Amino acid sequence: MTDQAVRNILIVGGGTAGWMTAAALSAKLAGLPIAIRLVESAEIGTVGVGEATVPHIRHFNAALGLDEADFMRRTQATYKLGIEFRDWGKPGDSYIHPFGAYGAAIAGVGFHHHWLRARQGGDATPLEAYSLPIMAARQGRFAPPSPDLSSVASTYNYAYQFDAGLYAAYLRAYAEARGVVRTEGKVADVALRGGDGFIEAVTMESGERIEADLFIDCSGFRGLLIEQALKAGYEDWTRWLPCDRAAAVPCETVEISTPYTRCTADTAGWRWRIPLQHRVGNGYVYSSAHISDDDAAAALLAGLEGKAQADPRFLRFTAGHRRKQWSRNCVAVGLASGFLEPLESTSIHLIQVAVTTLLELFPDRGCDPADQDEYNRVMNLEFERIRDFLVLHYHANQRTGSPFWDDRRNLPIPDSLAYKMDLFRDRGVVVKYKDGFFLEPSWLAVYLGQNVVPRAYDPVSDSVPDAVLAQRLKAIRDSVADTAGAMPAHDDWVARFCAAAPVNAAQAVRA
C-alpha cells in the first residue's frame, strides 16, 4: 500500500445500510491495514420497512460466505419467487412479476412474440401459465432451482423476505468478528478540511473526535455528511413519483406464508404484505396530497389479516437521489443516497449496488474525481432505470374516476420510459440495456399484466407452422404445470430446512 492508501474508514449510521457496508468492507478488505469503524446511536431508530428483496441479495450473501439456512433462521426469513400486483391495471386484476423466464425462445424468436401470435389467433391461455415461478407462487409452493440447465426447473431464481432489523444485527456480528469497531453515540459536528473541503473528522456528543480517510454516510434521509456537511444537492422526482409518505405495522400471521410479496393498489397509493416466519410486515405507501395520515393508517389497519402488533409508524420521503452520491471523500449509501418507494423491493438492492461499486472503484486518500464521476454515473443510472420501471406501474393503470390514479395515468412520463413503451406497443420490442437491473421478463410482466398489449408481434414467428406452435406451447405449459405441482408447499420447505425458533408477540415487535 502506498502512502496515499486509505487507512481508516468511518461509517456513520447503522441499520441495514451501515451493517451491509461494514460486512462487505470487512470481508473484501481483509488482510489490508485498514481500520473500519461504525458509529451509531440506539436512540435514533431505523426506518426498517424494507423486508423484501430481489435475487441479487443471494450473491451478496454468498460473497460474504453466509450459510443460507443459518441466515434464514436468524432473520425469520421466507423465500420469494416474485411480487403479486393486485388491482394495478383495473380493480380485480392480478399478476405476478416473477423472478424467472416465460417459456423459451422458438425459432430464435422471443417467447412472448409466439404467445402474442397465439393470442391473436384466439388462444386465451394467460402468459403466466408459461412461467414456473408464477405457477409455483400461485400454489404456495417452493423448491430451489435445478442446476440442470436443460430442465424447466432451472428457469427461475428466488430472493428472500426477511426482518431487516434482524439482518442488520446478523451482519453486525459478522462485521465485528472481522474487526469492525462499533461506537455508540450521536455525531454532534462535522469538520471540513481547508482547501479541498474534504471531511476531516466528526465530533461525537461525548466530545470524542474521530478522523478518517474515507467516510460512508449511512445516516438515513437526513444525509448528515453528504448533504448537511457537503451540500451534494438532491434530484427530486416527485413529479413522476408523488407518493411521499408510508405507514408500516406488523401483524400476526393468519394466511399461509406465501413465497411472494403482495402489492395492492389503494385509493392514494398502494399497500404491501410481506410474510415472514414470525409475523407479517404491512405498509401503505401514499400521497399526502390525496389522503391524510389518519385515513391512511385507518385503511392500513382495516386491511390487516391478523391482530396488529404495534401502532403504525410513519415516515416521510421525497423520491429521488443525491446529485452526487460520492462527493469528495464521502460516499452515501442507503437512504442517505436517495429513496425510491419499495414497490419492486429495490431498497436493499440499491445498498448492495452502492457497496459493490465502491469496492470496484475503491480509492486512495485523494479520491480521484474520475472515480467519483464513474461511481455517480453508475448509481444515477441504476436509480433512473428503477425509476422508469416504477413509473410504468402507475402510468399503465386503468383505475378511472380516482384523482390519484387519473393523475398518474395522464401526467407526462420520463422520455426514456415513453421511448420504451412506444417500441413495445408497436411490435412487442422490449428495450434491452447493458446496465440496469430489470430484464425482459420483468418488463413483460408489468406491460402485459397491466394491459399494455402490442399491436403486432415479430413476423418471424409466422415461420413456425400453426400446428407446430400449438404443440410447442402445450408442451411448455404442461411441463410448467407438472413441475410446479410436484414442488413441496412453501411452509413445508421452510419448516424442513430453515425454521426459526418460535417467538411471542412482544419479541416479534422488538425484532
Residues with catalytic roles = 80
Q: Which H or E run includes 200?
A: strand 199-204
- Is 77 in contact with 498 (CB distance < 8 Å)? yes
Taken in order 464, 459, 117, 478, the sign of the CA dihedral is positive
Residue 85, C-alpha cell as written in the block? 400486483
Could you give the CA distance from residue 156 to residue 131 in angstroms, rounded to a whole number? 9
**Cα–Cα nearest to 337, from 348, 175, 345:** 348
Helix (H), strand (E), coil (C) string for 135-171: HHHHCCECCCCCCCCCCHHHCECCEEECCHHHHHHHH
- DSSP secondary structure code for residue 221 in this structure: G
Task: Report the Cα–Cα distance between both ends of the chain, in Å, rounded.
Answer: 42
Could you give the CA distance from residue 239 to residue 439 in angstroms, rounded to a whole number? 25
Could you give the CA distance from residue 101 to residue 379 in angstroms, rounded to a whole number? 26
CB atoms within 10 A of CB 43: 8
Could you give the CA distance from residue 153 to residue 257 in angstroms, rounded to a whole number? 22
Q: Please report, for residues 23, 280, 285, 418, the alpha-carbon distance to residue 421 in angstroms, rounded to integers and kept in the order given.
A: 40, 35, 25, 5
- Is 508 in contact with 278 (CB distance < 8 Å)? yes
- Residue 95 dihedral angles phi and psi, to the nearest 5°: -145, 160
Could you give the CA distance from residue 342 to residue 506 in angstroms, rounded to a whole number? 26
